[in-house]
Amino acid sequence: MTLPTEDGPRGVAPAVALYSIIGFWFFYAVLISLRAAVVGFDSQIEMAARRAVVTLIGIIVTWVLYLVLRRFDGKPLMIRVVAAFSLAAPFALAMAAANFYVFNIYDPVSMFPDADHEKYTQQGYALTAILEDALSRYFFLAAWAGLYLALSYASEAHRTERRAARLERAAQQAELRSLRYQVNPHFLFNTLNSLSSLVMKDRRDEAEQMIMSLSNFYRTSLTGDPLDEVPLEEEVHLQKLYLDIEAVRFPDRLATRIDIPADLLNACVPGLILQPLVENAIKYGVSRTASPVEITISAREEHGLLHLVVADNGDKPPSPADGGSGIGLANVRDRLSARFGDQGRIDYGPQADGGFAVNLFLPITRRGC
């Protein structure tokens, strides 16, 4: 039975089966008609009419065979092969009996007036004629059954391909959700540490301001689906909210500069893709020095790609010894890889004039966010 599923219907669709059956029997009718014309049988018109009846019966019988074979669609291939070629035999016998009746029992005199009609009543003649005709019709129906198996196998292969593609998409979406959900707890952990530090230093006003900024940040960041992309303008706005939180903690040391052309503000980027980069800039660029540090978020279009940069000019950039928790840059790398494949990448390292920079490269898209 054909079962509609998310991967498409199982087995051969009824329309495809019907077209193949009609095509087979049309070929049969044409071939037999040409043979009759070449041999020069009498009563060609009468024979053509009866041949049309036999062809119609053949289409109906083969359709019933199709309905029976559909019940084996979920079975192993060997069982389906045995069923197809075994069931073709009784249906071929039924076709041969119908053919014998149409051409030999129903008014044979009108087609063959000079023939010896007594032989039709001889004992065993009808059975012998039907069995001989059934043998040739068996090969005809077996050929169609073979075509049905081929179509069924192709349909199953397409279902398998669709299922594999669906599972791959589901796995990618699950990975993206998992990576996105890593960001918020990581950010919250860092922010709560900062808040704890302010409370311990009895800086209540700053702590209250940080709580309000944190509330605004989460109100904005948690409204979207983790799989959705957002305009670059919205992503940068979120980072400014986060930097406002950290500015309470480092009022004299943290400065921010945004350098993004207006024509790139509507470019689509994964939500919170810059968050771990800005956090690292705070962690390594600002918190470890007593000097003022400027964090820059910039964007450029280069060779059809969107080039995003988060940089700081701190005097103590991270070194290989700063392994951290492994969430930040690895998270961004994995998200870019899962979403864009080879087109998304991340580069990072110390800058020649001091500080540290992280570069993101991803395709430019302006729709769907």
Pairing of strands 229-231, 268-270: antiparallel
Please name the residues in contact with 212: beta carbons below 8 A apart, sequence gap of 6 or more.
none
Boundary residue ending a domain (179, 201, 219): 179
Between the two ends of the chain, the Cα-to-Cα distance in Å is 42
Residue 39 above 90 pLDDT?
no
For the chain, the domain total comes to 2
Instruction: Work out whether the CA dihedral 160, 163, 167, 172 comes out positive or negative.
Output: positive
- Other C-beta atoms lying within 10 Å of the C-beta of residue 277: 26
pLDDT confidence bin for 1, thresholds 50/70/90: very low
Shared domain check, 325 and 236: yes
Cβ(240)–Cβ(260) below 8 Å: no
Q: What pLDDT sits at residue 319?
A: 67
Residue 209 and residue 116 in one domain: no
- The pLDDT tens digits of the residues spanning 283-323 come to 888 888 888 999 999 999 998 899 999 999 988 777 666 65
Average pLDDT of the segment spanning 92-100: 88
pLDDT for the residue 205: 84
Transcribe 71-130 into DSSP letters. Answer: TTTTS-HHHHHHHHHHHHHHHHHHHHHHHHIIIIIS-GGGT-TTS-GGGGGSTTHHHHHH
189/318 same-domain check: yes
pLDDT, averaged across the chain: 81
List, for residues 327-345, the tens digit of each pLDDT value.
678 878 888 887 888 889 9
Per-residue pLDDT at 213: 78
Type of residue numbered 309: V
Residues 322, 334: contact at Cβ < 8 Å?
A: no
pLDDT beyond 80 at 359 = yes
| 306 and 329, same domain (yes or no) | yes
The kind and range of the H/E element at 168 are helix 125-200
Q: Is the pLDDT of residue 5 over 50?
A: no
Same domain, 164 and 215: no
pLDDT of residue 90: 92
Assess whether pLDDT exceeds 90 at residue 122: no
pLDDT score of 198 more than 70: yes
Question: What pLDDT is stored for residue 3 in this prediction?
Answer: 36
Nearest partner of 21 among 143, 177, 152, judged by Cα: 143
Query: Is residue 205 domain-shared with residue 288, that is, in the same domain?
Result: yes
Residues 204 and 272 in one domain: yes
Phi and psi of 298, rounded to 5°?
-135, 165
Residue with the larger pLDDT of the pair 37 and 15:
15
- What is the percent of the chain where pLDDT is above 90? 24
Same domain? For 166 and 191 the reply is no
Contact between 241 and 275 (Cβ < 8 Å): no
Same domain, 113 and 220: no
271 falls within a domain: yes
The stretch 16-45 carries a mean pLDDT of: 80
Cα–Cα distance for residue pair 196/190, rounded to 1 Å? 10
pLDDT at 300: 96
pLDDT tens-digit series, residues 213-264 = 788 777 776 666 656 788 999 999 989 988 888 887 788 899 999 999 999 9
Radius of gyration of the chain (CA): 39
Q: Does the residue 369 lie in any domain?
A: no
Structural domain boundaries enclosing 55: 14-179
Say if residue 192 is in the same domain as residue 257. Answer: yes
Give mean pLDDT, residues 107-126.
56
CATH of the domain at 351: 3.30.565.10
In this prediction, residue 179 carries a pLDDT of: 54
Q: Does 118 score more than 60 pLDDT?
A: no
130 or 217: which leads in pLDDT: 130
Number of Cβ within 10 Å of residue 91's Cβ equals 22
**pTM of this prediction?**
0.53
Last residue of a domain, one of 179, 196, 219: 179
In this structure, the answer to whether residues 309 and 189 fall within a common structural domain is yes
| DSSP at 284 | I
Which of 140, 162, 179 is at the close of a domain? 179
Residues 343 and 221 in one domain: yes
